[in-house]
Structure 1
Amino acid sequence: MEKVVSTARLKSDPVGRLLIDDLQRNAEALRLENAVLYYDFPLFRDYEEELYQPAVFILHPEKGAVVVSVPDTAFDIAKQDYLLDEFHNLLFAKLLASRRLRSGKNALKLNITSILFLPHDFGVENYSGENIAVGSLDGLRAAIASIEIRPLANDDFLEARSVIEGVKALSKAPARETDLDDSKPKALVLRKLEDEIANFDAHQRRAALTVALGPQRIRGLAGSGKTIILAWKAAHILLTNPDKKILFTFYTRSLYEIIRKQITRFYRHFRDSDPNWEQLHVLHAWGGRREPGVYYNACLDHGITARTFNRAAPMSFDAICADLVGRAALMHKYDVVLVDEAQDLPDSFFHILFQITKGNRDEKTIIWAYDEFQSIFAPRMRTPKELFGIDDDGAPRVDLDRSAQKLGLGEYLSNDLVLYKSYRNPLNVLVCSHAIGLGIYGPQIVQMLQDREHCEDVGYVVEQGDFSTGSDTVLVRPQENSPLAVLQYENPAEIIKLCKATKFSEELDWIVAEAGSLMSQGLRADDILIICLDDMNAKTYHGALAERFSAHGVGTHDVLNNPFAASTFRSEGRITLSTVHRAKGNEAAAVFVAGIDAVAPDLRGRRARNRLFTAFTRTKCWLRVSGLIPTADGLFNEIETAINLSPRLHFSWPDVANVETIQRDLSGRQAKAKRLHSDYVKQMTELGFTEDDAQTWSEGVEKSE
């Protein structure tokens, strides 16, 4: 049975822990092995601000939804009964809104069973409500065992889970034509991918719905859903704690609208209104006179003149933040802080965040998301100690192991979460991107993952190699770690295409023709993103492309020509023209990476390869790469080799002393748990069990011992 503990309230809820432990021990007898058990989730608020939230909620493919409510005291049974009725009604309406889950005009395919748990039989005999009242664990088990079996198809079960968790609202893609047919094959493929993306895997769901007190880190590849997970958390925290002051901050300005929309969609799913933006601040890290930001607002709050970018005397964001920290002791302002793109923000900015977050050292709820393999600026992931610094007593301000021990919920919650799966990129695009980013098939390997464990962390299986210098190494990426099944719908030759142009006009004409072909097959103009890697000539590229597209009646949105709309990346009905830095954090169905000849001479350095990696991994499906030969001949050869060998990376393990090592930081507790779990799953799979079976068994054994 999968467990999702959404809040740290469990620490002070002995009855909740008793219920969870008992249901876990008896999962097999109750036929709940394939169930999902939630604690303090889902939740709804009505117009009167009343919160409806069960203690335990079970979703099962045969028994349906089981809601277990526990009165706070023995004197509020009537109120709890009323709240349980209201929750039942709200849940029924939410599920009924899904066409897939209806079995008639006003009927559902699944049961909803509401149980009022009254410990010590208090009031059970006198209870006259419509819910089931039980007074003991035996009574609860009997009530669950007696539920009528109504098997749900797997797709229906996933739909119910998507509705209950809010994923369906959160992952909502722009509306597309409902009558798509074979005349629009690319649109059909994209719709199937968007439907697939709408159902996250278990690691992502746990990461999103788990809101622990104190610091929490979320790590994963680009496209593993970190931004969405943080948006999910922000809305969830505001729903449960409307009086808390929450900050959501990020590095890439163009993410602003995306983040607000994601938070709003999730919030509306559980409450029919928009978030209170007075309580939840979505702010760019820097900000300025035209738009607020964390740094800029902190200066205003303390009567300090904010520094702005000055070309004559440029000053880094790191230096600007350090200057602010050195000039003032910042006041506590936020109860919760969520940070996206942590890998691109300087340590001094995290020092600001630590100061403006309320609470004692190990209780400051700062949740940050870090890309394992996408920092444009550094080859290693900084530890919490490096990010937040040292406290007055010489100890790290943030220590994940220390916080976990102090908060005491280690068996239910983790404050260091790893996301293994990438949902943005097709498998062969991601493997190709890694090969180019590392320089595996180039003149020399430029950067490398740290060791076997790090390769596994980012979703690879070691097929061959002992990681000694010069050893023949083969890494393979399993399909389940790049779950978008693009190859089921699309010809492999269509996913990645290359244009080796001999002159500039030839490259431009190919881009326009290829984009036109994609649109003729059902893609919209705003499904297409063109990234120019030639920074020196980006405006020339954009101007020439805009002119050519205009001649074909297609509009473009040039992010370089919209300085007053820095937070708007995508424009409906227009092809987006961008540089790689502006594109970072965004994605599109089809991505064109133009002008690769501009970076081809610099492939012995990390910067060029990181730019290529970032550009390639913006695509959800189709990748088009173009540049001038002979300058880009070597790079084109690398790309073709990576495509031909995908899903494998085959190379000689380098002397790590001569390359930049992409390092990872894993807390001691998390590292030990990961090793034990990995060994266990390997043994189970060798016995013929699936990984999901192994996961279910391990959770059952862990709680029964």
Structure 2
Amino acid sequence: LIERTNTIITGSNLTQEQWKLLQAVISGTPVFRTKRSTSPYQGEVKQPQQTRASVLAQVRQRLSEFDIEQEHIAKSIPSGPQRIRGIAGSGKTVMLCQKAAHMHLKHPEWDIALVFFSRSLYHPIINQLDKWLRRFSSGEVRYDTQNLKLRVLHAWGAKRQPGLYSTLCQAAGVKRLTVRDTERKRPNEALAEVCFYLLQDTLLPQLYNAILIDEGQDLIVDNPLKFEGKQPFYWMAYQALRPVDLAQPEQRRLIWGYDEAQSLESLNIPNASELFGEELGHLVTGQYAGGIRKSETMHRCYRTPGAILTAAHGIGMGLLRRGGMLTGITRTQDWEAIGYEVTGCFVPGQQITLRRPKENSPNRVPELWEGAVLEFIAYRSRQEELTALADSIFYNLRYDGLKPSREILVIVLGLGLDAMGLETTVAEFLMSQGIDIYIPSAVDCNILQIDKDNRDPNKFWCEGGVTVSRIHRAKGNEAEMVYVVGLDQVAKDESNLQLRNQLFVALTRAKGWVKLSGVGSYGLYEEMWQVMQSGDTFTFTFRYPPQREISVTEAGEMRSRYESGGRNFQNADLAGAQLAGADLRNANLIGAILRGADLKKARLDGAKLAIADLSGADLSHASLRKAKLVGANLQEARLQGADLSWAKLGNADLRGAVLVGATLVGAKLSGADLGGVDLTGASLEKADLSEVN
């Protein structure tokens, strides 16, 4: 419509600055920033030439970066499930709140739930949702807890605060179970257990038109806890949704955002086959009408400075680890999808170079701050470590002008009782030095022991106090200055992926600076220093596949699913996919869209490709022995040197295809359209060419 509309008024071209301003306004960015309040600790002390507060003031004066791709994701409404993978700090929570607000304003009659796992996210999510409702409605609509059409729900729910699970129990007329009713101790596993029982015993009512899940990796459990091969919480949410189209009951608006690098419990990755079982593994492959992608990847990190993010990826995956990487991405296209440039191939013994361009980490703190944004110091004792911590926080408060709450965050690393003990030790020491502290869930500052009958599980910050938190409560929160204490807790068991992920999460809470510390001497410390010295570029030798491989692109995920036993890719949209050399023998690709795909030297023997769209695909030297290609579209496909022995190509459209040197021994081509096909040097012995066009 816009393209067809005649010009009403001819204007002059916008300047670069005007264009940026227009983009920012369209995206909902405030044009003018409010002045930042000062720290009450500053007083009349003479300020150093550069302070962290002065840097933050400069950062906040600049309009936020406009990301057209992020705008598209936030303001599009899919007609079925959608998966949103975003690296830490890419704006997943903001985007999901924008999407929920947009849905509600466009379809006020819909029942929508925005769901998350950590209760410390209640306040930030409600604030974000309210902000975008007001902005998108010009101030006419706010978030209203009494409006049940749009609900912010904790995954589980408590006595006085409903969650998705408790809401479904109430609607189904069954008793809501609590943690005390479960055998599992880990919160995510206990939740999965009660969801399992609900699914097993109850036919769930379809209450919602859309459910959006933030921090989706937190709701994943290991295989023994699955319900009929599906993730219990996700399958419960899926069952609670009304189908978008009754003719396609599997299409339901379950939208989940996640980053598997932030998984602190289960290391399973929340792709469709993991959540809904292999039979529905294709649900988020391809596009909906209007070009809305079923799977999105957000690769730009707005929160965390580039040097900190790359260090977090490097140490989290063990890229420079002496024994080789522990977890991570092993395909070039997948690294590119999260914002890195790759030199080299992921073949054992080959050298790989990864580089993250500045445009994919637009945080301005590193260019304004004269020092390092990431520091690491190893101390001889915990006393030394905590003394240095207190001194640094005093400096932040008195000279840097940072506020204690929301601008400074202390995160302690470790598992179980070790982490709990360190949290208390850190908080107690800071209090002894005259620094007010806050431990999440306490009702006020400076409370070390939280009374289970007098607590606020939704609370993460306390005005006037520096929050000291273990990693699980810190997830989803952020601060300008982050202190990460106790790296030795990770170093003692450096091959533990959950502990590495803790470190990744802790580092990526920072909006400006990180000071990392530990005690003693460990091999991990040397690795950490090497990672920091590498800056935005890592060079390492790829040795062997890691303990846990991560796939980002649809092609990469397809390969991973196949390698783990998955075969159902029916109707998958893989147009343009990079699948050269892929092993997809006996895969079900009926009706799949592989238009323009790179399938050079792929192994597709016995694959079911009936009515698949392979037009323009490169299948040169691919093996398609006994493949079923009945009715397939192979127009302009490149099949030179391909082996199609005994393949079934009845009624296939091969117009313009190149079959130079192809092997078609015993192939059934009855009814196929061979108009303009180049069969130079092809072997057609025993082939059925009856009724070909």
Aligned match of 1:272:
140
* Cα deviation digits, residues 423-447 of structure 1 (max 9, x gap): 1211111111111111122332211
Change (3 A) 1:273 1:174: farther
Maintained 8 Å contact 1:460/1:475: yes
Match status 1:500 vs 2:500? no
* 1:661 partner amino acid: E
Aligned match of 1:488:
367
Aligned match of 1:294:
164
Maintained 8 Å contact 1:332/1:356: yes
* 1:528 partner amino acid: I
Maintained 8 Å contact 1:362/1:398: no
Structure 2 counterpart of 1:451, from 323, 331, 343: 331
Aligned match of 2:37:
176
Structure (1 or 2) with the greater strand fraction: 1
SS at match of 2:114: strand
SS at match of 2:300: coil
SS at match of 1:400: coil
Match status 1:165 vs 2:27? yes
Match status 1:646 vs 2:535? yes
Aligned match of 1:187:
53
Q: Structure 2 unaligned runs (5+)?
A: 221-230, 443-449, 559-571, 580-595, 597-693
Aligned match of 1:354:
238
Change (3 A) 1:399 1:534: closer
Aligned match of 1:94:
none
Counterpart Cα distance in 2 of 1:342 and 1:539: 25
Aligned match of 2:673:
none
Question: What does 1:601-612 correspond to in 2, within 5 Å?
Answer: 601-612=492-503
Aligned match of 1:47:
none
Aligned match of 1:148:
11
Counterpart Cα distance in 2 of 1:174 and 1:471: 52
SS at match of 1:640: helix
Counterpart Cα distance in 1 of 2:318 and 2:374: 19
Structure 2 counterpart of 1:385, from 252, 258, 273: 273
Which moves more between the two structures, 615-624 or 448-457? 448-457
Aligned match of 2:483:
592
SS at match of 1:559: coil
Which moves more between the two structures, 347-356 or 185-194? 185-194
Maintained 8 Å contact 1:382/1:665: no
Counterpart Cα distance in 2 of 1:446 and 1:172: 43
Post-superposition shift, 1:476?
0.7
Change (3 A) 1:539 1:466: closer
Question: What does 1:120-135 correspond to in 2, within 5 Å?
Answer: none
* Cα deviation digits, residues 226-257 of structure 1 (max 9, x gap): 11000001111111222221100012221111
Aligned match of 1:202:
68
Match status 1:258 vs 2:141? no
* 2:128 partner amino acid: Q
Aligned match of 1:52:
none
Aligned match of 1:320:
194
Counterpart Cα distance in 1 of 2:328 and 2:56: 33
Aligned match of 2:97:
231
* 1:244 partner amino acid: W
* 2:275 partner amino acid: L
Aligned match of 1:105:
none
Aligned match of 1:305:
175
Match status 1:618 vs 2:618? no
Post-superposition shift, 1:303?
2.0
Match status 1:212 vs 2:78? yes
Aligned match of 2:310:
431
Structure 1 counterpart of 2:474, from 546, 567, 583: 583
Counterpart Cα distance in 2 of 1:549 and 1:435: 31
Counterpart Cα distance in 2 of 1:378 and 1:449: 18
Which moves more between the two structures, 252-261 or 204-213? 204-213
Q: Structure 1 unaligned runs (5+)?
A: 1-18, 24-136, 681-705
Maintained 8 Å contact 1:416/1:670: no
Post-superposition shift, 1:489?
0.4
Change (3 A) 1:671 1:455: farther
SS at match of 2:518: strand
* Cα deviation digits, residues 262-299 of structure 1 (max 9, x gap): 01011112233422332211011112224221112211
Question: What does 1:513-592 correspond to in 2, within 5 Å?
Answer: 513-519=391-397, 520-526=399-405, 527-535=407-415, 536-550=417-431, 553-559=434-440, 561=442, 564-592=455-483
Maintained 8 Å contact 1:374/1:614: yes
Maintained 8 Å contact 1:249/1:340: yes
Change (3 A) 1:478 1:165: closer
* 2:409 partner amino acid: L
Post-superposition shift, 1:212?
2.4
Post-superposition shift, 1:382?
3.4
Structure 2 counterpart of 1:241, from 98, 107, 111: 107
Aligned match of 2:554:
666
* Cα deviation digits, residues 679-699 of structure 1 (max 9, x gap): x9xxxxxxxxxxxxxxxxxxx
* Cα deviation digits, residues 356-384 of structure 1 (max 9, x gap): 11124254222111215322234453331
Post-superposition shift, 1:480?
0.9
Question: What does 1:74-85 correspond to in 2, within 5 Å?
Answer: none
* 2:264 partner amino acid: I
Change (3 A) 1:333 1:560: closer
Maintained 8 Å contact 1:183/1:521: no
Aligned match of 1:509:
387
Maintained 8 Å contact 2:285/2:295: no
Post-superposition shift, 1:670?
6.6
* Cα deviation digits, residues 185-204 of structure 1 (max 9, x gap): 20122233445573342221
SS at match of 2:554: coil
Post-superposition shift, 1:141?
2.0
SS at match of 2:466: strand
Match status 1:340 vs 2:214? yes
Maintained 8 Å contact 1:285/1:293: yes
* 2:10 partner amino acid: I
Post-superposition shift, 1:167?
3.3
Change (3 A) 1:174 1:637: farther
Post-superposition shift, 1:508?
0.8
Aligned match of 1:120:
none
Change (3 A) 1:311 1:469: farther
Change (3 A) 1:443 1:619: same
* 2:151 partner amino acid: H
Change (3 A) 1:674 1:163: farther
* Cα deviation digits, residues 96-139 of structure 1 (max 9, x gap): xxxxxxxxxxxxxxxxxxxxxxxxxxxxxxxxxxxxxxxxx4xx
Change (3 A) 1:522 1:191: same
Maintained 8 Å contact 2:310/2:535: yes
Counterpart Cα distance in 2 of 1:636 and 1:234: 43
Counterpart Cα distance in 1 of 2:48 and 2:67: 30
Counterpart Cα distance in 1 of 2:26 and 2:338: 29
Counterpart Cα distance in 2 of 1:507 and 1:373: 28
* Cα deviation digits, residues 132-189 of structure 1 (max 9, x gap): xxxxx4xx3232xx3332x5543443333333332339x98894359x9975620122
Which moves more between the two structures, 298-307 or 180-189? 180-189
Counterpart Cα distance in 1 of 2:403 and 2:457: 22
Counterpart Cα distance in 2 of 1:521 and 1:530: 17
* 2:389 partner amino acid: I
SS at match of 1:435: helix
Aligned match of 2:258:
370
Q: Percent of aligned pairs with the same residue?
A: 29
Which moves more between the two structures, 539-548 or 428-437? 539-548
